[in-house]
Structure 1
Amino acid sequence: MKNLVEHLSQYASYHRDPRNIATHFIGIPMIVVAVTVLLSRPGLELGGIRLSPAFAAALASVWFYLRLDLRFGVLMSALLGACLWAGQALAVQGTSVWLVAGLGLFFIGWVIQFVGHYYEGRKPAFVDDISGLIVGPLFVVAELAFMLGLRPELKAAVEHNAGPVAIRQKKAVV
Structure 2
Amino acid sequence: MKNLVDHLSQYAAYHRDTRNIASHFIGIPLIVVAVAVLLSRPGVAITGLWLSPATLLTLASLRFYFKLDLAFGVLMTVLLGLCLWAGQALAVQSTMVWLSAGLGLFVVGWAIQFVGHHYEGRKPAFVDDLTGLIVGPLFVVAEVAFLLGMRKALQHDIENRVGPTGRRERKAI
Report what 2:156 is aligned to: 156
Give the secondary-structure state (helix, strand or coil) at the position aligned to 1:15: coil
CA distance in structure 1 between the aligned counterparts of 2:82 and 2:45, rounded to whole angstroms = 18
2:62 aligned with 1:48 = no
CA distance in structure 2 between the aligned counterparts of 1:108 and 1:46, rounded to whole angstroms = 32
One-letter amino acid of the counterpart of residue 143, structure 2: E
Report what 1:16 is aligned to: 16
The gaps in structure 2 that reach 5 residues or longer are none
TM-score (norm 1): 0.97
The gaps in structure 1 that reach 5 residues or longer are none
Runs of 4+ in structure 1 over 2 Å off: 45-48
Deviation at 1:37, TM superposition (A): 0.1
Matches within 5 A, 1:24-103: 24-103=24-103
CA distance in structure 2 between the aligned counterparts of 1:64 and 1:151, rounded to whole angstroms = 19
Give the secondary-structure state (helix, strand or coil) at the position aligned to 1:45: strand
One-letter amino acid of the counterpart of residue 70, structure 2: L
Deviation at 1:50, TM superposition (A): 1.4
Report what 2:4 is aligned to: 4
Q: Which stretch of the first structure deviates more once superposed, 40-49 or 90-99?
A: 40-49
Q: Which stretch of the first structure deviates more once superposed, 98-107 or 40-49?
A: 40-49
CA distance in structure 2 between the aligned counterparts of 1:132 and 1:53, rounded to whole angstroms = 20
One-letter amino acid of the counterpart of residue 88, structure 1: Q
RMSD of aligned residue pairs (Cα, Å) = 1.1
Give the secondary-structure state (helix, strand or coil) at the position aligned to 2:149: coil
Contact 2:118 2:170 in 1 (8 A): no
State, as a whole percentage, how many aligned pairs show the same letter.
71
Deviation at 1:131, TM superposition (A): 0.1
Number of aligned residue pairs: give it: 172
